[in-house]
Amino acid sequence: MRNFTRPGYLPVMTHKMWLRIVWGHDRERKAAHAWAAEQAEDADDWGDRIDGALWRESAGFARSLAESARPRVQELVSAGIDLGGPGGIELLYFLTRILRPGTVLETGVAAGWSTSAVLGAMKVNGAGRLYSSDFPFFRIPDPERYIGYVVPEELKGPWKLHIKGDRRNLEEILLPGTKVELLHYDSDKTRKGREFFLLRSRPHLGENHIIVMDDIQDNMVFREYAETQGLYRVFPYEGKFIGVTGPGLAALERTAGK
C-alpha cells in the first residue's frame, strides 16, 4: 500500500501529475497544429470566391488602418509596450460587411486591431453594435489606457468595452434576449476558456451566426466544435491559424457569386 505520510511522497506525486498534465497539453497542441495545417486554405482565394470586390475593399481597409495607426504603434514601441500585432483584419472586416450583423461580440481587444476591423465595417454598413471583452494587461502601468489604443476615435460610436475579464463581462453583455450574429474569440486560449465561451454564448447565437476563433492550433477545442457544425474553414495567419464556423458560413457560401 502507498505510504502517503512518507516524507517527500506528496511533492513527488505533484511533480508527476504536473508532468502528465504538461505532456497531455503538449500532445494536444501538436495534434491541433497538425490538424489546422492540414485543413488550412488561402484566405485570399476564399474571399475572392465569396465576393472578390468586397475582399479587395477589406484588404484596402487593412492597409489604410495599418497606415493610420502607425503613430500610435510608434508610441507603444517607444514606451516599450507590446500588445501584439494585427490578426485577421481583412477577414473580420469582410464578415462584418457581408453579414451586416446587428450585434457582434469579441473577446480579446489588446491594441484593438480586430475591434477596428469590425467597427470600420460597421461604419460603412451604417449599422451594428460591437461588445468587446478584455481585461487590463497588469504588467504595464496604467493598463486601461492602452486597451483599444489603435482604434480610431471616429469609429468608437457603436462600441461598448467591458474590462472585467470574460467570465464577468459575458454576464454583463449576454443578457436574456441578446442575440449575436458574429463572434470573434481571441482572449483566453486555454481549453477551459474556450469551452466556457462556447457554452456561455450558446443561448445567444443568432440563427445565421458565424464564430471566428484565433490561434486554433493551441488545442482541439475549435476542431471538436467545428465538426459538430458541418462546415468550417481554417486560414493560416503568420504561422498561426484562424478558424471560422457556424450556420452563417454555409449560408454565405451557398449564396456566393449569385
Could you say whether residue 243 binds ligand SAM (CB under 6 A)?
no
Binding residues among 139-178 for ligand SAM as defined by CB under 6 A: 165-166
CB of 150 to ligand SAM, least distance (A): 8
What is the pattern of x (binds ligand SAM, CB under 6 A) and - over residues 183-212?
---xxx----x-------------------
Q: Is-contact 132 162, C-beta < 8 A?
A: yes
- Output the furthest CA–CA distance in the chain (Å, rounded): 73
Q: How many CB atoms lie within 10 A of CB 58?
A: 26
C-alpha Rg value of the chain to the nearest Å:
20
Could you say whether residue 134 binds ligand SAM (CB under 6 A)?
yes
| Contacting range for ligand SAM; rule: CB under 6 A; set: 22-30, 55-63, 66-74, 182-190 | 182-190
Amino acid at site 96: T
Q: How many CB atoms lie within 10 A of CB 199?
A: 9
Instruction: Quote the CA–CA distance of 220 and 152 in Å, as a whole number.
Output: 35
Interface with ligand SAM (CB under 6 A), residue from 110, 130, 173, 244:
110
CB of 234 to ligand SAM, least distance (A): 18
Instruction: Quote the CA–CA distance of 115 and 148 in Å, as a whole number.
Output: 7
CB of 172 to ligand SAM, least distance (A): 12
**Contacting positions for ligand SAM (CB under 6 A):** 84, 87, 107-114, 133-135, 137, 165-166, 186-188, 193
